[in-house]
Amino acid sequence: MIAPLLVCAWLADTEVGPEAAPPPPEMVEGAPAPPTAAGTRPHAIHVRPGIEAFGQYALRWTNDGQDTRWFHQFDAPRVHASLEGDFDNARARVVLEGVRSTGEGSLVGVAGDSVVLRLREAFAAYRFDFGLEGAAGIVPTFTVPELDGTWMLRVVSASTLEVSGLGTPADLGATARYTLPKKLGWVGLGAYNGEGYARRELNRGKTLEGAAEVHPLATVGVLPLAIFASYTYGSSGVDSARADRLTAGVLWQGKKLRAGALLTYGWGVGPDGQRNAVVLDSFLRVDPIGPLVFGARASSWLRNATTGDSVTTFTVSAGVKIAAPLEVHIIGARSIPSSTARDAVPGSDFTETRLATRIVF
């Protein structure tokens, strides 16, 4: 997602949710149209482009149990281009992202191993005046975008839920989202293929996701405090392996302080519907003064809930906003796997230092 644009369209209040794009300017009859609006009618068509790009230099030391090796590279881990249009209560959004043309373990893809474009989002939506919005197409899911949009430091790391493969930020399907009155939060229901936006549907079963974010103290002025919960009931793969997920936790979505602590329990991992997994994820973002930004994340991914096969990761960052759309971050990360996970996931035992930039328009 362009991080602010991918998530903010789903939240009702900018103080308690991800940073939202400014609303389109009001049209005045007879006045010249602004550059991104077509026509001068009261209900004009507004079109807004967007760009987000991450660039980084990463130095990693990897321990395979016998010796330590190091590797360094320049990378562009995230490139998004978006186009969003609205007319009255209807809107549409398309997001393109850059990805390598090869998969895991492959060496040759399209034009060698080029960075190619694929669809991340492509949907149409309509919002009713009483607070309900429906969308269909390649739509954002509820859980992963909510976590990324709360932390607002996707340039530092992705959510552990996405890294573990237990969650996806978008899928093919339809969603309905109702904004509660008095800034009390929202509830949503989605129906998807279940394989994620990057994969073809492989079985007849569909995945259902129900989610809710409640701000219990909104009526007394404490807007940032939120309780989030979601449940996904679904299947994946040609064998329709079980893929159910329960996520619950507490969020703080303030202007200077943003934090969260969540637990996800997953019934079914990949093609193995009998294996269960657990993700514990906590994160913190502090904007103490001026352009400074500090972040921290601690997570534990229990790959198999019955064997203690786990990977624990700690991440810290310090950044500065050089300009409104431009940030630079210094990031340190340490990944500590169990002995079983070290053998099963090569490269999971590492220490990493990165210099990363993020620019968004």
Predicted pLDDT at 106: 63
pLDDT tens digits, 301-326: 999 988 878 999 999 999 999 999 99
Specify the pLDDT at position 284: 97
State pLDDT tens for residues 165-221.
999 999 999 999 999 999 999 999 999 999 999 999 999 999 999 999 999 999 999
End-to-end Cα spacing for the chain: 12
CA atoms lying within 13 Å on the CB side of residue 218: 19
- Residue 152 is predicted with a pLDDT of 96
Asked whether the predicted pLDDT for residue 275 surpasses 80, the reply is yes
Picking from 290, 278, 277, 212, the residue whose alpha carbon sits closest to that of residue 251 is 212
Q: Are 67 and 360 in contact (CB under 8 A)?
A: no
Query: Residue 332: what pLDDT?
Result: 98
Q: Evaluate whether 183 touches 194 at the Cβ level (below 8 Å).
A: no
Instruction: Name beta bridge partners: 87.
Output: 45, 90
**R_g of the chain, CA atoms, integer Å:** 21
User: Which residues are CB-contacts of 65 (< 8 A; sequence separation ≥ 6)?
Assistant: 342, 343, 349
What integer best gives the mean pLDDT of the chain?
87
Q: Smallest Cα–Cα separation from 287: which of 249, 259, 315? A: 259
**Which band of pLDDT confidence, cut at 50, 70 and 90, is reported for residue 42?**
low
Band the pLDDT of 255: cuts 50, 70, 90: very high
pLDDT of residue 52: 96
> What pLDDT does 343 receive?
85
Q: For residue 227, give both structure tokens.
A: 């309780």
Cα dihedral across residues 93, 145, 165, 158: positive or negative: positive
Secondary structure of residue 220 in the 3-state scheme: helix
Q: Which amino acid is at 150?
A: T
If you average pLDDT over each of 5-19, 123-137, 342-356, which comes out highest? 123-137
DSSP states along 108-143:
-BTTBT-EEEEEEEEEEEEE-TTSEEEEEEEEE-SH
Per-residue tokens: 239: 């064998």
Which of 68, 56, 17, 59 lies closest to 228 in space, CA to CA? 17
Cα 213 to Cα 189: distance, rounded to the nearest angstrom: 12
> Which pair of tokens denotes residue 24?
């389109």
Which tops the pLDDT comparison, 76 or 105? 76
Which pTM value belongs to this model? 0.84
Lowest mean pLDDT among 10-19, 119-128, 174-183: 10-19
Res 12 pLDDT > 50: no
What is the pLDDT, as a whole number, of residue 112? 73
Q: How far apart are CA 285 and CA 252, in angstroms?
A: 10
Altogether, the residues listed in the chain come to a count of: 361
